[in-house]
Amino acid sequence: MKISITSIFLVFTVLFACETKNRSQEEIELPEDAVEIPQRQDWVVDDAEFESSDEIGELEQSLIDAGLVDVEEVISGIYVDLKYSTTDNFFGKDVYGDLYRCYLQPEVAEMLKKAHQKLQEDHPNLTFLLYDGVRPQSVQQILWDELDKPDSIKPLYVADPKVGGLHNYGVAVDLTLADAETGEALDMGTPFDYFGYPAYPDREKQMLKEGKIKQEHVNNREILRKVMKYGGFTGIGSEWWHFNAYSRKDAAQKYGIVK
């Protein structure tokens, strides 16, 4: 019986493959002097943690369902630091929980985009840093309840949730100016949520005379006011950071209060 060289080669190939497979299934013993390399934790991707970063919380989903938009999806190059998602606010509590994005009514976001474009034209090194946008009525109630002031003067600090403020309609925004590269806020003379005359636009001349604020602070505020006015917003006399897109009457006609 004749056996070809090709047949012999095939037989050896099959045997070698089987042996390799058997050896791969066995545990390979390392030499005694071998060093085992530990697995680096930063090479391992935690799928659960990665997926959670994109999760939308119940509060945020309710804003989306109400038709509001994430401002950062409308305007590029801005920064957001929702102060009520931190303890860095006037009553030191986080009331937004897992909400970190700023939402507004679509028309208001477009108005803010127009203001931002004007800012970029006049001051390319500056951008917006947003502190607050829509504030659901449920959160407004928390602010009202937590404020350690008599009910008679609470409206000087926060809107009565029974009536509703313009934040509750998604047509008001709290913001400041920031360095476009670093996101560091400009010095406006007072921090956000400062309740006192130095934060009052209506009292700036008086505060300058008394040395409570500097001309630099007023100049920065005027830049902010100018571009926000260009976008169609109006400020208020007691907070340099607060701007309204509509009056309360117009907001009530156009939109409902966000619950």
Cβ contacts of 120 within 8 Å, gap of 6 or more: 77, 126, 127
Could you count the other beta carbons within 10 Å of the beta carbon of residue 90?
Answer: 17
Burial class (CB in 10 A: 0-12, 13-18, 19+), 238: middle
Residue with tokens 């860095």: 88
User: What are the φ/ψ torsions at residue 103 (nearest 5 degrees)?
Assistant: -115, 145
Q: What secondary structure letter does DSSP report for 185? A: B
Give rounded-to-5 percent helix, strand, coil for the chain: 45, 10, 45
Distance CA 71, CA 110 (A): 9
Token representation of residue 106: 């679509």
User: What are the φ/ψ torsions at residue 173 (nearest 5 degrees)?
Assistant: -140, 140
Q: Does residue 243 sit in helix, strand or coil?
A: strand
Q: Which of 72, 107, 110, 239 is catalytic?
A: 239
Residue with tokens 């590029």: 76
Token representation of residue 130: 């947003």
Residue 204 known to be catalytic: no
User: What are the φ/ψ torsions at residue 229 (nearest 5 degrees)?
Assistant: -65, -40
Distance CA 172, CA 247 (A): 10
Indicate which residues carry an active-site annotation. Answer: 239
